Amino acid sequence: MVGETLEDGARALARSTTIHLAPPERPHVTMHNLTPLSNTEAARVQSAFERVLRRNGRNEDVVEVTLTISDNIKGYLLVAEIFHGNERAVEMRSVLSEPSIAPAPVGITVTKKLLWEQSAPILDLALVADFMFVLDTSGVSRYERRKDKWDRVGVLPAASFVRDPRGRLNLEGDSFTIQLPGTTCHGTWNPSVSLACDNGGMLTAARNTLESEEPLPTHFSIARTKDSLLLAEMDGRTHVYDAVGKPVAAFEGWGSDFAALAGGCAANRILASSTSYGESGDSLVLYDVANNAPVRLTDPAEFAGPVTALWPSRDGALAVVRNISTGRYEAYSIAVDCGR
């Protein structure tokens, strides 16, 4: 995978290697390095591999596993050979160099505009005229634009105590809907403020996954194009289903946040975050889905931290990012510039 470190690749390879080991078997790993990687770096790769393979207990059934760090013109290749007597199974994992970028259509770019930032985690944000509504982990705050500044003019408590909180805010004229894990709240903000909540909604109670009316696998994100349904599922991959719900493909490389866009050159296309394996900045890219596989259409729009929320909006999307340097949460309006 592109953007993955060697240690990430070793961990992924170890996971696919474990399927060749029966529960009582204990792997004994021997490593070969065929690349210019230093001994220290190669040892780190081996260590990452072994940590995932490690089994508890005093298993006497030792299985020899050879881990080879190799390379080719595209990058590194990690190879695990699992030996059971005279039988050998082979698993491989490519850790690619950054690919030469395939040409994107001329003029299409993903643009971002910072709307708001604060220290509490932002779950969603909506703008209407001179008012801004920010849904965060303590509730909904209403701001009014006065002399080019946002002044907070109201707060509606609606706390969310879920690990990795998510929430959705929809405005319709003077009324609004808030979705929190296991809860849906309806309210008005004009002329008076009111809020009433019930159980149920689009977010799973006490979890960070989405609910749906139709029976679907557990998922973090959902997007529909003209011909396909895409789900970010629990295995970390994006699964593609056809128009009648039959699974047709699965691929890696997208994060758990993506959104289908509407309108202009972005219609039927997906905005997706890159996978982030720790403290590094995410990016958003616009993709097409052709023949059940993603096709990159734009250069990445980079951010200073991981994307924590991505929702489609009227004009594109709303992205929330946690800035690694400041620790604050930033809400961006994301649009697609069709150029020409």
Given the rule CB under 8 A, which residues bind another protein? 34, 68, 70-74, 76-77, 79, 81, 90, 92, 94, 97, 99-100, 102-106, 225-227, 268, 288, 290-293, 295, 297
Closer to another protein by CB, 30 or 326: give it.
30
Give the shortest CB-69-to-another protein separation in angstroms. Answer: 10
Q: How far apart are CA 254 and CA 252, in angstroms?
A: 6
Give the shortest CB-30-to-another protein separation in angstroms. Answer: 14
Closer to another protein by CB, 2 or 197: give it.
2
Closer to another protein by CB, 287 or 329: give it.
287
Q: How far apart are CA 117 and CA 214, in angstroms?
A: 36
Give the shortest CB-27-to-another protein separation in angstroms. Answer: 18
Burial of 293 (0-12, 13-18, 19+ CB in 10 A): exposed
Residue pair 13/80 in contact (Cβ under 8 Å)? The answer is yes
Q: Beta strands of 97-161 (E only): which ranges?
A: 109-118, 122-128, 131-136, 139-146, 149-157
Q: How far apart are CA 193 and CA 65, in angstroms?
A: 65
Closer to another protein by CB, 33 or 209: give it.
33
Q: How many CB atoms lie within 10 A of CB 153?
A: 12
Give the shortest CB-32-to-another protein separation in angstroms. Answer: 8
Give the shortest CB-39-to-another protein separation in angstroms. Answer: 19
Tokens of 276: 């982030």
The residue assigned the tokens 């059940």 is: 292
Rounded to 5 degrees, what angle do the CA atoms 294, 299, 305 make?
A: 95
Amino acid, single-letter form, for residue 63:
V
Give the shortest CB-220-to-another protein separation in angstroms. Answer: 25
Give the shortest CB-52-to-another protein separation in angstroms. Answer: 21
Report DSSP state, residue 58.
-
Report which of 312, 330, 306, 311 is spatially closest to residue 320, judged by C-alpha positions.
330
Question: Three-state SS string across 209-231, please?
Answer: CECCCCCCCCEEEEEECCCCEEE
Closer to another protein by CB, 81 or 136: give it.
81
Closer to another protein by CB, 81 or 330: give it.
81
Closer to another protein by CB, 17 or 141: give it.
17
Would you list the DSSP string of 235-290?
Answer: TSSEEEE-TTS-EEEEE-SEEEEEEE--SGGGTT-EEEEEP--SSS--EEEEEEEE
Give the shortest CB-242-to-another protein separation in angstroms. Answer: 14
Q: How far apart are CA 259 and CA 264, in angstroms?
A: 15
